[in-house]
Amino acid sequence: MHIENEIKYDFSDVLIKPKRSYYTSRKEVDLERKFSFKWSSLVWKGIPVAASNMDTVGTIGAAKVLSRHNTLTCLHKFHSVEELREIPTGIRKNVAITIGIAEGLNILYELGDHLKQFKFICIDVANGYTEQFSDFIKQVRDEFEEKIIIAGNVCTPEMTEQLILSGADIVKVGIGGGSACITRNVAGVGIPQLSAVIDCSDAAHGIGGMVMSDGGCTCSGDISKAFGANADFVMLGGLLAGHDENSEKITVDEETGEKSVKFYGMASSTALEKYYSDNMKIDYKASEGKLVNITYKGSLEDTLLDLLGGVRSTCTYIGAKKIKDISKCTTFVCVNNQLNNYFN
């Protein structure tokens, strides 16, 4: 047994200190960034905010909206080849096809020529610590040399390096912080997200890789904090769920008229029952995700613009003209309390 005494921080443990700024308007801030990668020779220009590959978030409908604003969608991995083939060619550069180890490479082969316009492949497993996962990344890199590979999830620097050296361009960082996640209760495993991003991005950048902070953002301020912690990309689940473009049915409460939508973790029993055979369910047994009813939020575009507006606002407070400058302009202050809850 070993204990690390250094405190690790979550988004809620810090605030970003304002600094002298030349920028008075959010319009002056440029959130698009041009990326080149460690392994892939492709270039991607866009706003590095990504919809999570959850089936209540990363849908084709969501991708159509998010792509209009040059943000990324990691599609959930339960789309059929036919559905993927019908994705309009114009948005494919902003869409990642997600695969898991169990499904293997078949869907990528079956896409054939259609795969050409997709720049990103996202390899997603709940636990990125197995040797089998690193080997699978190597295999995908060998077969699809030119693609930008996103792989995860891990939350420690050593494993971030391992995944990059195996062939990932971008490592998804985050275990236990998601809004529909119960891994910290079930398994007692995880690292507070802000520190995980700081430590893993340092490791990734040292060897030419990048990280995508995945999970734990509850508001636009958290997205800015993730960029402040040096995340190259930020992935959102719950914040982008509950809209017209997400897949779940809208339920109306007969008494109050309130509209709500189901949102569940991809390792919850709801998702396991929907997608996996009985054998898989027995293997998994302990669900690591929960099912919640969330308030219906209307149009995804309005939410996205609000969130991006928040990040622009952070930039004007700290003197960052571009998204890449956020971390250079960030000083975090540790806080005991960050919100005034008088009216809650």
User: What residues line the site for ligand 5GP (CB under 6 A)?
Assistant: 52, 54, 126, 153, 174, 178-181, 183, 214-217, 235-239, 265-268, 288-289
Which of 74, 122, 155, 181 is labelled catalytic? 181
Taking alpha carbons only, the member of 34, 37, 41, 62 closest to residue 50 is: 62
Shortest approach of ligand 5GP to residue 214 CB, angstroms? 5
Shortest approach of ligand 5GP to residue 209 CB, angstroms? 18
Shortest approach of ligand 5GP to residue 300 CB, angstroms? 14
* C-beta of 140 vs 234, nearer to ligand 5GP: 234
Half-sphere exposure in the Cβ direction for 30 (13 Å, CA): 9
Does the annotation count 200 as an active-site position?
no
Output the 3-class SS for 171-208.
EEECCCCCCCECHHHHCCCCCCHHHHHHHHHHHHHHCC
* C-beta of 232 vs 288, nearer to ligand 5GP: 288
* C-beta of 48 vs 265, nearer to ligand 5GP: 265
Shortest approach of ligand 5GP to residue 109 CB, angstroms? 26
Cα(240)–Cα(245) distance, integer angstroms: 10
In degrees, rounded to 5, the angle at the alpha carbon of residue 162 between the alpha carbons of residues 179 and 195 is: 40
Cα(99)–Cα(132) distance, integer angstroms: 14
* C-beta of 49 vs 65, nearer to ligand 5GP: 49
User: Are 159 and 203 within 8 A, CB to CB?
Assistant: no
- What are the residue numbers of the active site? 181
